[in-house]
Amino acid sequence: MTSNQRATLVTLGLMAVAVLLNSTVMRFVAIRDTTPDTVLILLLFLAVRRGAMPGQVTGFAVGVAEDLASVAPLGFHALLRTIVGFGAGLLHGYLFLDPLLMPFLLVTGVAILKGLMASLVATVFGVPIDVGILDAGFWIEVAYTGVLAPPLFYLLAKIKALRPSKRERAR
């Protein structure tokens, strides 16, 4: 198994845990019924570190899982997460991840873009979503997710399976 495949599998496992936590206990730390998008943080971490292919495959898989756990039509989250995983993966090798500022800016920026894409997809496909970009809930989610990004990035960097191998570091 390659380093990328191992990292993808570990991230998928972490995402499954994140989806479960979001569905159950996360509401206890919700701000005005809004929970942070921890799956987005995990996806961005993987995509920026490993590239577009692991990013989009993981994004698609976790998106389908979210669709199945929700009243969302099948494909809604899958489409959004695939695009996010691919787009963030294109930044692989071009982004220096400092401990604080870059994770915050990256996650906040992508969370806003994800919201815009969700509104566009919902409009085109006639899917009624509960939180639009003009709702306070959307901006709470963006801020909450952005603030959570630096500590989660720090913790994820400690996981051995997600670290680049010696050969990858040398390249």
Partner 1 sequence: MQAPPVNTFFSRRRTGVSFIALVAVSVVMLAISANSVAVNPVRIGQSVVTGVLSVFRGIGGFFGDTWNSIAELRRVRQQLEQAQARLVALEQFPIDIVELRIENAQLREQLGFADTLTGEYLAAVVVARDPGNLFSTITINRGQRHGVRDGLAVVALQDGIQGLVGRVSGAASGTSQVLPITARASFVAARLRDTRYDGLVGGVGTTADMLLLEHVNQAARDAISFGEVVSTSGLGGRYPPGLQIGRVREVGGEAFENSLQILVKPIVDFDRLEYVFVLIDSGGAQ
- Provide φ and ψ at 28, rounded to 5°: -75, -20
* 51 lies in the binding site for partner 1 (CB under 8 A): yes
**Torsional sign, CA 76, 82, 87, 92:** positive
> Interface with partner 1 by CB under 8 A: which range of 1-9, 23-31, 94-102, 150-158?
23-31
Contact call for residues 38 and 64 (beta carbons, < 8 A): no
Give the tokens for residue 45.
């971490």
Regarding 17 and contact with partner 1 (CB under 8 A), the answer is: no
Burial class (CB in 10 A: 0-12, 13-18, 19+), 2: exposed
Q: Which stretch binds partner 1 (CB under 8 A): 2-10, 61-69, 97-105, 146-154?
A: 61-69
**Which residues of the chain form contacts with partner 1 (CB under 8 A)?**
19-20, 22-24, 27, 32-35, 37, 39, 51-53, 56-57, 60, 63, 66, 69-79, 82-83, 86, 89, 118-131, 133-138, 140-141
